[in-house]
């Protein structure tokens, strides 16, 4: 078991060494992850604003904000559709 852990750590060390040696190959993937994180944060702000502004309305509950922490004045479940 310790042999496989040692090999895994050795592989991780080799990966870090290669990343330092050939940093130009890893920069595009790192930059794309950074840009994706920024876009996700910027995109989440309007959705959170709508969720807080909608409060306990039917629109907020149907959008799912009821389940992620918005307080509700009643504990009634969401209405269900009778469509098949």
List, for residues 21-75, the tens digit of each pLDDT value.
988 888 888 899 999 999 998 988 888 787 777 766 666 666 664 455 555 555 5
Q: Please check the confidence at residue 19 and state whether its pLDDT lies above 80.
A: yes
What is the SS3 string spanning 16-49?
HHHHHHCHHHHHHHHHHHHHHHHHHHHHHHHHHH
pLDDT of 66 reads 44
pLDDT of residue 39: 93
Quick one: angle between helices 2-21 and 23-54, nearest 10? 100
pLDDT computed for residue 35 by the predictor: 96
Non-local (6+) Cβ contacts of 33 within 8 A are: none
């Amino acid at each position: 078991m310790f042999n496989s852990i040692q090999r895994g750590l050795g592989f991780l060390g080799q990966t870090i060494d290669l990343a330092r040696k050939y940093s130009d190959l890893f920069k595009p993937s790192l930059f794309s992850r950074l840009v994706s994180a920024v876009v996700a944060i910027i995109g989440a702000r309007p959705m959170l604003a709508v969720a807080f502004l909608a409060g306990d309305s039917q629109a907020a509950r149907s959008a799912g904000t009821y389940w992620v922490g918005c307080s509700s004045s009643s504990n009634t479940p969401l209405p269900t559709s009778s469509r098949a």
